[in-house]
Chains A and B, each alone.
Chain A
Amino acid sequence: MCWTRHRREAAVIEGFLRQDGRKGIRNHVAVAYLVECARHVASEIVLPYREAGAQVIGFPGCFPNDYAQKMMERLCTHPNVGAVLLVSLGCESFNRFQLAEAIAKSGRPVETIVIQKAGGTRTSVAEGQAWVAARIEELSRAERVPMGLEELVVGTVCGGSDGTSGITGNPAVGLAFDRLVGEGATCIFEETGELIGCEEVMAARAATPELGRELTRSVEKAARYYATLGYGSFAAGNAEGGLSTIEEKSMGAYAKSGSARIDGLIKPGDLPPKGGLYLMDVVPDGEVRFGFPNISDNAEIAEMMASGAHLTLFVTARGSVVGSAIAPVIKICANPETYARLSEDMDVNAGRILSGSSLTEVGAEIFDLTLAVASGRKTASEQLGHAEFILTYKSFEPIGPACLPS
C-alpha cells in the first residue's frame, strides 16, 4: 500500500508548547495523590473542575518504589499536563519533595498540600480547589501552536480481545501505525506477555540483529514470568470470544504493530529518542514479585503515557469502555456485534471489515481521527468523562545499549 500520495505538509496538528520543547495535545491540571489515604481529597478537589480539565492520577502505595517515583515524575511532566497539585497525607514514604522539584524544574506550576498539616479533609479540599481554579483560569488562555507529526507520540493497546481482534481492529491499527511512522511520528506498542509466540517474526523486523535479540529476550522473560504466575495474559472473555491460547491472542495483538521496522526497545518511562516504532517491555525484571505485570489495561496505557504517548489507540472486541486520565483514548471496536451494542463508547467501527469494508479504509479513518483528536477533538471516552488511572508496584533494570541503536 502506498501512503506517500497522502503525504501532507509537516505541521498538520496543533498543540500546547511546553518549556522543555515538547508539545501537548491537552492542557490538563493533574491532581496527584501520593498514597491511597490522600485519594479521596484529590478526587473531591477535582470534582467541580472535571469538565474544565482537572484530572486525578496517583500512586496508592505507602512504601517507596523507584518505578512508581519515575512514573509519577514522567506523568506529572507529561506534555498534556500544564500544572500539578500534589496531595500528600503526610506520613507516606513517597518522595514528594523530589517529585515537586522535578515538576518545578519542568516549568510547570506545582503546589503540594499535606493533609496532616493543612488541617484535615475539608481544609485541604478548599485549598486545593482554590489552587486548581486559578491554574485552570491561566491555562484556558493558552493557545494552540502548529505541531508536526514528528512531535506526536502514539501508543496502542488492546483489551477485551476476541477472535475478531486479529482480523479487523488490530491490523487496521497496524496500517495507521505504518502511516504515522512513515510521517515521522513515534509509535509505541507493548505488552510483551501478549507477544508470546511472535518473538521470531518480530525480531526479524528489528533495526539491528542485536536489537532483534533484545526483543526476543523480552518476550522470553514475559513467558517465564507468566509461567511462574500460572496464567498467561489472558482473561475469561478472551476465550468466550473464540481465542483458545495466549499464542493465538498474541498473533492478533502483534498485528497492531503494523509492518514498519522496529527501531527500539524501551521500558516504562523511557522517552523514545526519535520518531519510529518502539516495543515497550512492561514485564518487570528480576524475580517474580509485586504480582501481575498488567493488572488491567489502564496500567499499560499509563506506562505508555509515561514514555510520552499523547494518545492511545485502543482496540477492543468484547467491549471495553475505559478512557484515561491525561491522554485521550481512541476506541476501535473490532467486533461488529459489540459495536452494535456499545456504539456510544466507540470511536471507530472496525468490525465492518467483516461485512466488506477494506482494512485500508478503516486504517485511514483511524489515522485521520488520530490527527483530529490530537488537535482537540474529544473522543467518546472523553465526552463520557472517563479518566481511569492505575499505577502499582514494579521493578525494572535500565535498558541495555543494544535496545536503542542509533
Chain B
Amino acid sequence: MSDTSEAPQLLRLAASDNVLVALGPVPAGPARITGGGVLTVERPVTLGHKVAARDIAAGEKIVKYGVPIGSATAAIASGSHVHTHNMKSDYTPTYVLDETSQGGRGD
C-alpha cells in the first residue's frame, strides 16, 4: 500500500478494541490510525500483525473486532507488538514454529 501522505497504517476495527492491525509493513515510530490519531509503534511490525492501542495489564482481555480474542500473559505497553509471546487463547493453545513466529520484526 502507499506509504505517502495521509494513508493510514493501522486499522481500528471496533471502538472498544485495545489492539490495532498493521495495514502493511509499519516501521517503528509514529503511525497513522484509520479514523484519525497517531500511535507510536515500538518496533517494526508486518502486515496483519497487532499492536497495543494502549497499555494493557497482564490478564486483561485482548479485544479485536469488539470481542475478546484471548488474554494478555504479561503487561503490554502501548505501541508494542501483541502476539503469541504476550497473549494466549482462552480456549486451546496456539501452535507456532519458532522459525516463523517472529512476524513483528519485519521481512
Interface residues of B (CB under 8 A from A): 1-2, 11, 13, 21-24, 46-50, 62, 64-65, 67-70, 82-84, 87-97, 100-101, 103
Contact = CB atoms under 8 A, between A and B. Distances in A.
Contact of B92 (A164, A239, A243, A246): A246
A247 B48 contact: no
A227 interface: yes
B87 A245 contact: yes
List the 8 closest A-B pairs by CB distance, nearest first. Answer: A163-B48, A242-B48, A245-B89, A248-B69, A242-B49, A232-B92, A245-B70, A236-B97
Nearest to A193: B92
Nearest to B98: A236
Nearest to B104: A242
A197 B13 CA distance: 17
Interface string A345-374: 000000000110000000000000000000
Contacts of A354: 1, 23-24, 47
Of A196, A241, A248, chain B has the most CB atoms within 10 Å of the CB of A248
A167 B17 CA distance: 14
Given A234-B92, A239-B97, A355-B1, 6 more contacts: A163-B50, A196-B92, A231-B93, A242-B103, A245-B91, A335-B48
Interface residues of A, number: 36
A236 B93 contact: no
20 contacts: A197-B69, A198-B67, A226-B91, A232-B91, A232-B94, A234-B92, A236-B96, A239-B97, A241-B48, A242-B103, A244-B69, A245-B88, A246-B91, A246-B94, A247-B69, A247-B91, A248-B70, A354-B1, A355-B1, A355-B2
B92 A226 contact: yes
A197 B103 CA distance: 24
Contacts of B65: 166, 251
Interface in A211-258: 223, 226-227, 230-232, 234-237, 239-248, 251
Select the residue from A166, A226, A242 with max chain B CB neighbours within 10 A.
A242
A230 B23 CA distance: 32
A196 B69 CA distance: 10
A162 interface: yes
A235 B95 CA distance: 6
Contact of B103 (A230, A232, A240): A240
Q: Give the residue among A196, A227, A337 with the most B Cβ atoms within 10 A.
A: A337
Contact of B84 (A162, A226, A244): A244
A251 to B, nearest CB: 5
A242 B96 contact: no
Contact of A167 (B11, B46, B69): B11
A336 to B, nearest CB: 7
